[in-house]
Structure 1
Amino acid sequence: MVAPGILLVDKPGGMTSHDVVARARRALGTRKIGHAGTLDPMATGLLVLGVEAATRLLTFVVGLDKTYEATIRLGVATDTDDADGQVVSTTDAASLTSSAIVEGVDALTGRIAQVPSTFSAIKVEGRRAYDLARSGQDVQLKAREVTVSRFDVLARREVSDAEAGFVDLDVVVDCSSGTYIRSLARDLGAGLGVGGHLTALRRTRIGPFTVQDAHGLDTLASAPMVSPADAAVSVLGRFHVTADEARDLRHGKRLTGGAARLPTTPMAAVDPGGALVGIVERRGGDVKSAMNMPEEASA
């Protein structure tokens, strides 16, 4: 029987997130594995997997802020906003000044309205946008607010071919969940009047989890996992409960008057033995369980 936990994987390029989940299922001998946050096949980096009962924790991971390292090519636009798409326009970008790029980046930093890529996994009337786009349908996605708390240019490189000169920017982005880095590349290029797309993307962080602690596909069978308790505490913070309180929460009872002890909500309730009881929240002046962890899988 596989112990529950959070498995951090360094996804290679050329695979879908579902491909990685399938590999993990085979390596660990269980089908009860899910992931928190899809990575495009082109992208590499951190994929957070929940194994067995720890899949219940993924809902608290999906919405966490993320960090990406990326390369944006200015001067070339594609229909998918990344290197996997078809080129739709090229413009000589060699004359772009550093100050113009800084202004363009600044305009895409902070709370912004962003239209997701047409070739995204967003559902439109029950179908994925990329399926509709690939079938030739006109897909119109609505803008939504996202937060880009950091958008730093680390390096600039000049690239040229027989037609024009292009500019590659190595960038790092801290952003809220739901932000499309492909859309940042597209919008930066559009704002500068030359077009742009993403040529490389690597996710390095999801909330407290980093790619430095992730494991390659060849070591999944023996890779150590983050325990449910440690994972939940790192995301939500620890709410100490006594053995009696742990029993009551597991039985669906409220902790009367316990809300005063809950500085934020929700939090991870951990018993004296270090086991995760579940995720708790305020309910009036009381504390109640929003999600219980099976006792045999809570350590």
Structure 2
Amino acid sequence: MASARLTRLHGLFAAYKPPGLKWKHLRDTMELQLLKGLNAGKPPAPEQRVRFLLGPMEGSEKKELTLTATSVPTLTSHPLVRGPVFTSLKVGVGHRLDAQASGVLVFGVGQGCRLLTDMYNAHLTKDYTVRGLLGKATDDFCEDGRLVEKTTYGHVTREKLDRILAVMQGSHQKALVMYSNLDLKTQEAYEMAVRGLIRPTNKSPMLIIGIRCLHFAPPEFLLEVQCMHETQKQLRKLVHEIGLELKTTAVCTQVRRTRDGIFTLDDALLRTQWDLHSILDAIQAAAPRVAAELEKSLRPGLDTQQVPSPRWPWDSEGPSSALGLESDVGH
């Protein structure tokens, strides 16, 4: 039974990483839970071997001893002698989350670790919700960092914030085209843009595909960010830069990943589901979607029929500010 489960234990699944937990500790926990599940099955019946045991002779009044052929179990295969059958398992982690961040964290098991490399090469986008707090600045852009400045924020409005976010999104869209090395005058480039398949050819700075404000109640605000090649530190610094553009200061109070490629919060296993049975079900459910997404992203078969004429959103002469574009690269 354990061997049958092991043959199915190849693929990708997602788990929800709580804040305050390091990704490596979560990976080790997943491996431990999988090994525990594989070794928890009922062990097979021990093999029997024939041994000649010394015993009393039947019908003998003088209690004479004789050797009798007896079938006894072989203890060399007993779990208490041999130990657990499975002692290690290959478990890989996709786009990592730092200790302070939370949300969707993708794992690969067995041959599924190769798919993690394919996901990395596909440059899939990720979604985050980022919570900010106006009026403070710290040395590490986090709320619990060392306070370096306090400012007023009464002049900040939702309209001003939305305007800053629109400028930022426009500058990053132009940067995305630049890093994709596409000729905007070609039909192929337009078809890829229509299908959302424009990707950088190599590693690039953090690129924001979309950003909007979900909630604004000063001093707090909540952003939804769709991006690629980011680190959680860069997202926290993004909140700091938004505060500066609003002529105030801001710190980040929460970074939560809500989607990584095809995996969303609905796919992420909670702590109570970190067991072999739930992980097997998650791998089987995600397998067809993973294959379809990688096929589309790594080998996009573009249908050139019934595509309208190009109207590029970045053709207009808008602000060219490079807000948030960093020279450091991170996944």
Give the TM bin, normalised by the shorter chain. 0.5 to 0.7
Q: Within the alignment, does 1:43 sit opposite 2:101 as a pair?
A: yes
Moved over 3 A (4+): 110-113, 262-265
Q: Within the alignment, does 1:104 sit opposite 2:158 as a pair?
A: no
Q: Within the alignment, does 1:199 sit opposite 2:253 as a pair?
A: yes
Aligned CA RMSD, in angstroms, stands at: 2.4
Deviations 1:150-169 (CA, angstroms, capped at 9, x unpaired) = 211111123xxxxxxxx211
Q: Within the alignment, does 1:220 sit opposite 2:274 as a pair?
A: yes
Tell me how far 1:235 sits from its aligned partner: 2.4
The aligned runs of 1:189-268 (5 Å cut-off) are 189-221=243-275, 222-223=277-278, 224-227=281-284, 229-230=287-288, 232-237=290-295, 264=301
Note closer, same or farther for the CA distance 1:108–1:263 as it changes in structure 2 (3 Å cut).
closer
2:113 aligned to 40, 44, 55, which one? 55
Give the aligned partner of residue 170 of structure 1. 222
Give the aligned partner of residue 131 of structure 2. 71
Deviations 1:64-115 (CA, angstroms, capped at 9, x unpaired) = 10011121112212222223422221111122122221222223214439xx
Contact 1:73 1:199 in 2 (8 A): yes
In 2, the alpha carbon distance for the partners of 1:84 and 1:5 equals: 38
Relative contact order (C-alpha < 8 Å, sep 6+): which is higher? 2
Task: Report the secondary structure of 2:111's partner residue.
Answer: helix
Taking structure 1 as the reference length, what is the TM-score of the superposition? 0.62
Task: Report the secondary structure of 1:34's partner residue.
Answer: strand
Tell me how far 1:237 sits from its aligned partner: 2.2
Contact 1:72 1:196 in 2 (8 A): yes
Contact 1:42 1:84 in 2 (8 A): no
Q: Within the alignment, does 1:6 sit opposite 2:66 as a pair?
A: no
In 1, the alpha carbon distance for the partners of 2:172 and 2:145 equals: 25
Q: Which runs of 5+ in 1 are unaligned?
A: 114-143, 159-166, 239-261, 266-299
Q: Percent identity over the alignment? A: 26
Tell me how far 1:190 sits from its aligned partner: 1.7
Give the aligned partner of residue 30 of structure 2. 24
In 2, the alpha carbon distance for the partners of 1:45 and 1:23 equals: 16
Task: Considering fraction of residues, name the structure with more helix.
Answer: 2
Contact 1:68 1:203 in 2 (8 A): yes
Task: Considering fraction of residues, name the structure with more strand.
Answer: 1
The aligned runs of 1:156-167 (5 Å cut-off) are 156-158=216-218, 167=219
In 2, the alpha carbon distance for the partners of 1:34 and 1:263 equals: 26
Contact 1:7 1:49 in 2 (8 A): yes
In 2, the alpha carbon distance for the partners of 1:48 and 1:230 equals: 16
Note closer, same or farther for the CA distance 1:263–1:145 as it changes in structure 2 (3 Å cut).
closer
Note closer, same or farther for the CA distance 1:111–1:176 as it changes in structure 2 (3 Å cut).
farther
